[in-house]
Structure 1
Amino acid sequence: MAKVRQLPLFADVYGQAETPKPVNVASVPQRSPFRYPGGKTWFVPTFRCWMASLKNRPRILVEPFAGGGTISLTALFENLVERAVMVELDDEIAAVWETVVNGDAEWLANRILTFEMTREAVLEELQKTPTTTREKAFQTILKNRTLHGGILAEGSRFIKYGENGKGIGSRWYPKTLANRLLNLNAVVNRIDFRCDDGLKVMAEFSRSEEAVFFIDPPYTAGGKKAGKRLYRHHQIDHEYLFTLCESLAGHFLMTYDEAEEVKEMARRHGFHMRLIPMKNTHHATMREIVISRDLSWLDALTHRA
């Protein structure tokens, strides 16, 4: 009888069972209109594996630090959940999501398509005081696409040279952005957006066994400065977040920058950790920590933290 060769776990995602290479984000469908610092497009294949490992299909995904919303949008477009609760405290980012859920995605798409991209036009537009949520949303998209690295936090500067010397407009792809916004209409009725404290909303759903949580907090634990530099709302009680995760009735998956303080908190709360490779904006390979109650489904792909 011929010997049957066992295929490596999740080989269809990474193509190997050994230490995986960082995901090529170009292979992942781009759903979000944001060019978001700390975005999770690279994490999508791992997120899909996690969802597939759950015994029962969850009804609700709660993303307490939604930002660009890549994970929630993936879950909705791929019908991994019925509904996504997206939470974001930053009022500028929130304005974009509120514009979408309020039915103004088409208005925002048209505003992007008709805007003539010049440095002078950008400066003129951003000097205006928005009087409606959708006007604020347009200004946010404009900032996100013309500020260095898409960073909206105070102190961020305009792109100077950009791709191929195209300057301030090098990240401005009006047709692509408009299409992404219009495509959101296919799932908008399944988005529950909250401009709120993510920890508060987590507590609201903590007893629900139908909810799962994808948690990607600002990376400020262990003295890390990335969260402070990238996000307006970077302060968070990391210890309380871990305590809250311990109380969740549903499953959760959490990602963090690699830091000893984070590892120690995970150990204290009895969670499992793995290291997974990613590439930063400078294309350097780095590792992030994935934390949950059970990560056996990841064992073939990652290092122990």
Structure 2
Amino acid sequence: MAIKNPLRYPGAKSKLVPYIQNLIQSENLTGCTFYEAYGGSAAVSFGLLENNIVNRVKINELDPLIYNFWLCVMQHTDELIQMINDTDITIENWIEFSRYRDTNYLFGKTSVQIGFAGLFLNRTNFSGILNASPLGGKLQSSPYKIDCRFNKTRIIESIRELSQFSDRIDLFNMDALDFLYQETRYKRNRSIFVYIDPPYYEKGPSLYRYFYGNDMHRALAKYIRNKIYPWLISYDDSPEIKKMYKRKPQQPIYLDYSVNTKRKEKELLISNLEIPPITIENTLEKDESLIS
């Protein structure tokens, strides 16, 4: 049984794991090091580790709340779990932890405090969006209260299971392009696989705290297009992105990443490999309900 992810994440790509697994195997890259430049829920990395498809993963996440959460899962597991057990899931605590969204507030805070704040906001906010409002509203007048997605037992179980991979995971808190340049420039092409899931071109500002403008999307395209190591990008379907990668193989996929809707959205897979078509029937909403 697949390990459930402790985070709820807009645009989570857990349903891509079988596809990427097959792609890695077909390219004779089983046992390689897997690079995930925009970590988020890191669902693909964890899925490939669990299935023993890759030997090691390098996960980069720029957002300090999410980075420190994963750091705590891997390096401060017991302290993180203790804080989960000791903290009441209330609107009063939400008000306190929402202050952690201001990076200036993080000075003097421990990794456990910052990482738990990331988990708390992720599990108590609308659709897991860190900058969103709390479930149930600040007045808690909705039938769905702030703790409706914070099942402590299941979250702790997930954290313990994922922490078992700590000796096969390297974590980074960097700009994605700096991470790719630093970590891949001297690697043999057949020993690595790079997965890139950048902020969406059109809806990124409403989903992520660290989103890209057009110039940054172009900078990423310029950087990655000519790399000869195997890479795969997942993006929202937009004319601008298609144009940036017009000379690379592209395949449409359908995922329910949009918040508060069951409508499937067309996205793109882009690669320097020959990539087969894909149809994904499962929805992000089902993923989110796994830890309810």
TM-score, normalised via structure 1 length: 0.79
Q: CA RMSD in A?
A: 2.3
Amino acid at match of 2:249: H
Distance in 2 separating the partners of 1:246 and 1:201: 16
Q: Provide, for residues 10-41 of structure 1, a one-character-per-residue CA deviation record: whole Å limited to 9, x for no partner.
A: xxxxxxxxxxxxxxxxxx83443211111112
1:199 Cα deviation (Å)? 0.9
Task: Look up the SS of the partner of 1:254 in the other structure.
Answer: strand
Please identify the structure whose Cα radius of gyration is greater.
1
Q: 1:115 aligns with which of 50, 67, 87?
A: 87
Q: Does structure 1 conserve the Cα–Cα contact (< 8 Å) formed by 2:62 and 2:176?
A: yes
Distance in 1 separating the partners of 2:194 and 2:200: 18
Amino acid at match of 1:249: I
Partner of 1:218: 199
Q: Provide, for residues 230-259 of structure 1, a one-character-per-residue CA deviation record: whole Å limited to 9, x for no partner.
A: 112112622222222233232111111000
Q: Note the 1:232-251 alignment, pairs <5 A.
A: 232-235=209-212, 237-251=216-230
1:112 Cα deviation (Å)? 1.3
Q: 1:157 aligns with which of 105, 120, 133?
A: 133
Amino acid at match of 1:59: C
Distance in 1 separating the partners of 2:279 and 2:71: 37
Identical pairs, percent: 24
Question: How many residue pairs are counted as aligned between the two chains?
Answer: 264
Distance in 1 separating the partners of 2:99 and 2:238: 40
Q: Does structure 1 conserve the Cα–Cα contact (< 8 Å) formed by 2:94 and 2:134?
A: no
Q: Does structure 2 conserve the Cα–Cα contact (< 8 Å) formed by 1:96 and 1:134?
A: yes
Q: Does structure 2 conserve the Cα–Cα contact (< 8 Å) formed by 1:108 and 1:138?
A: yes
Amino acid at match of 1:248: K
Gaps of 5+ in 2: 281-292
Q: Does structure 1 conserve the Cα–Cα contact (< 8 Å) formed by 2:251 and 2:278?
A: no
| CA spacing shift, 1:300–1:201, aligned 2, 3 Å | closer
Q: Does 1:54 align with 2:27?
A: yes
Partner of 2:253: 276
| CA spacing shift, 1:300–1:39, aligned 2, 3 Å | closer
Partner of 2:181: 203
Gaps of 5+ in 1: 1-27
Amino acid at match of 2:88: E
Amino acid at match of 1:274: Q
Q: Provide, for residues 179-221 of structure 1, a one-character-per-residue CA deviation record: whole Å limited to 9, x for no partner.
A: 111112211111110000111121230442111111000012x
TM-score, normalised via structure 2 length: 0.83
Q: Provide, for residues 81-104 of structure 1, a one-character-per-residue CA deviation record: whole Å limited to 9, x for no partner.
A: 111110011111111122223x21
1:166 Cα deviation (Å)? 3.0
